[in-house]
Amino acid sequence: MRYICRMPAVHLEVEKKYAADDALELPALTELVLHGDDGAAPVDPGGPVTEGELVHQQLAATYFDTADLRLAAAGLTLRRREGGDDAGWHLKVPAGGGARSEVRLPLGRAWRTVPESLRRMVRVHTRGALLRPVAEIATDRTVRRLVDATGQVLVEIADDRVTARRLLTAGKADSAGAATSWREVEVELVGGAAELLDAIDARLRERGLTAARSSSKLAQVLDGAQDGTRDGSGRKRDGSAKKRKAGKRGEEVTAKAEAGAVVLAHVREQVEQIRAQDLPVRLDAPDSIHKMRVATRRLRSALTTFKPLFDAEVARPLRGELKWLAAELGAARDAEVMRDRVAATVRADEGADAATAGQAVEELEQVYREAHDRVLAELDGERYHRLVASLDALVTTPPFTPRATDRAGRVLPRLVGRSYAVVRELVRQADAHPDGAEREELLHDARKAAKAARYAGESVSGVFGADATAFAEAMEAVQEALGEHQDSVLTRERLRTLGLSATSVESAFLYGRLHALEEARAERFRDRFDEAWKAAGRKSLHRWTR
């Protein structure tokens, strides 16, 4: 049985919330969709629509978090709710673009103990702290649904009258706050197009409704402690990349700041990204493995490029563990890239047999599933959580050497310049070898070194501006050209293996055809690399690193 088969059901939630007073009278849903104030239809729902019967629901929810609200700080909501159509345990996770993924489990018997599978999913955020009830919310809900001719619900509007109380005040257990009450309107897209939600939003705003003060009922109860406005220690976060602060004194990061402060600002961002992608990776969200892998590599690269600033006894084992995590993520990411690459090639190949092509893509999908399952198992393991704890210590008590107190403008450019020197030497060695396995390995190493040089430039671009940005962009062009070449090498190897083990002549022919197409693409990638490498060698790109 695959690991992912044991994952809870996940529901994508796309909704908008509005503040409402007791005097509000909501118009008919068909009026909101079919008739604007000017008499014109704001959106075509795609066919006849009607409004279903009103549904009244009584909802009772208990929300869980740590005593210092670590889930709220991460933008997560965990609750046990009775009543309604989806009673059960719900974990809401930001999914981008205003949407949220909702992980659902059945109620079960326990009501004050969070199910083990959910505790495991949020452990990277709770860091082992006890999950306990932090709020109770009762909702008197009236539901109205817009339905198409087939009975499919397109949009649902919930008119909620809410009574809530916080169960923890000032961090004190069993110290409940006073009950508060309010009314809000929630519009959720169910089976309709996004234009329907936008049209209803415009009509409700025309009638005077405004966006709810908080993105969730719990956030309103906790008085703004959610949506990432505070970290796990209760300190407010500043999300502005242009005004990043670092160091004990909170000084703004400039070339006159300590070198350690500049690097620490970058290190913090990567640690936060690793933590932020933990749940999306578990839920197999698009691009989540890639984002977590990149953050892991950026962090390891920073500890390597700026090695003189860190205590070797602390940084060396951290780099080793980050390499391990990147490798685990890399196996799944490489399988994902190969699956998508072959699928795109098959779609573009008019001569490919559809059934055989589908089988090839399915085989690669299976390889990805198995690799993703291995990642999930590692994320539940103690090694991963020890690494996360070490990363927390890295940013809270950075193991700096005395050199970290030197000015950034004196120390960091030269360290970035050394990263380019590594790329240059590897490319020189590759050029000295004829085509073959040894040359391919050197180019692969050059790609990794170019990526490290790019990361180095990007990590200090907030301080050194256009010079560092131009350097990073040149290294990125080199990295991407070599990356496409490496992807082609790996894809050809995989296609050759599949062709040798093919169970039919048709499959073997398809794999051979795809292999030939990849060889042609590889020639184009070599030309791209030559151009990118020539551009990267311009003296103007490197003056600031000397």
Instruction: Examine the domain organization and report whether 113 and 17 are in the same domain.
Output: yes
Is 421 inside any structural domain? yes
pLDDT at 224: 42
Reading the block at residue 496, the tokens are 């050759």
- Is the pLDDT higher at 527 or at 472? 472
Reading the block at residue 290, the tokens are 């890639």
Model confidence at 132: pLDDT above 80: yes
Instruction: Examine the domain organization and report whether 194 and 287 are in the same domain.
Output: no
Q: Distance between CA atoms of 191 and 196, rounded to whole angstroms? A: 10
Instruction: Examine the domain organization and report whether 43 and 108 are in the same domain.
Output: yes
Of 287-291, 368-372, 438-442, 469-473, the one with minimum mean pLDDT is 438-442
Is 379 inside any structural domain? yes
Q: Which long-range contacts (CB under 8 A, 24 or more apart) does 465-471 make?
A: 467/543, 467/544, 468/416, 468/544, 470/541, 471/416, 471/420, 471/541, 471/542, 471/544, 471/545
Q: For the chain, what's the residue count?
A: 546
Instruction: Examine the domain organization and report whether 211 and 319 are in the same domain.
Output: no
Please, which pLDDT band fits residue 286 given cuts at 50, 70 and 90? confident
Instruction: Examine the domain organization and report whether 383 and 414 are in the same domain.
Output: no
Model confidence at 228: pLDDT above 50: no
Model confidence at 264: pLDDT above 80: yes
The CATH number of whichever domain residue 116 belongs to comes to: 2.40.320.10
Place of tokens 């990411």: 333
DSSP 3-state of 73 = helix
DSSP 3-state of 17 = strand
Instruction: Examine the domain organization and report whether 51 and 148 are in the same domain.
Output: yes
For residue 262, the enclosing domain spans: 257-393
Instruction: Examine the domain organization and report whether 386 and 411 are in the same domain.
Output: no
Angle in degrees, 0-180, between the axes of helices 354-379 and 312-348, rounded to the nearest 10: 160
pLDDT at 85: 87
Model confidence at 542: pLDDT above 90: yes
Residue range 192-203: mean pLDDT, rounded: 86
Instruction: Examine the domain organization and report whether 384 and 300 are in the same domain.
Output: yes
Is 164 inside any structural domain? yes
Instruction: Examine the domain organization and report whether 324 and 447 are in the same domain.
Output: no
Angle in degrees, 0-180, between the axes of helices 288-305 and 312-348, rounded to the nearest 10: 140
Non-local CB neighbours of 414 within 8 Å, separated by 6+ positions: 545, 546
Instruction: Examine the domain organization and report whether 387 and 417 are in the same domain.
Output: no
Counting DSSP H helices and E strands in the chain, the numbers are 15, 10
Instruction: Examine the domain organization and report whether 101 and 203 are in the same domain.
Output: yes
pLDDT digits (tens, 9 = 90+) for 29-63: 888 877 655 545 455 666 788 888 899 999 999 99
pLDDT at 156: 93
Angstrom CA distances, 229 to 73, 117, 232, 386, stand at 7, 27, 10, 26
Q: Domain ends where: 174, 198, 221?
A: 221
Alpha-carbon torsion, ordered 277, 281, 286, 289, to 10 deg: 80
Instruction: Examine the domain organization and report whether 414 and 518 are in the same domain.
Output: yes
Q: Distance between CA atoms of 57 and 115, rounded to whole angstroms? A: 25
Quick check: pTM over 0.85? Answer: no
Is 228 inside any structural domain? no
Phi, psi (degrees; rounded to nearest 5) at 473: -65, -40
pLDDT at 100: 83
The CATH number of whichever domain residue 301 belongs to comes to: 1.20.120
Model confidence at 519: pLDDT above 70: no
Q: In the chain, how many domains are there? A: 3
pLDDT digits (tens, 9 = 90+) for 394-440: 999 999 999 999 999 999 999 999 999 999 999 999 989 887 788 88
Please, which pLDDT band fits residue 14 given cuts at 50, 70 and 90? confident
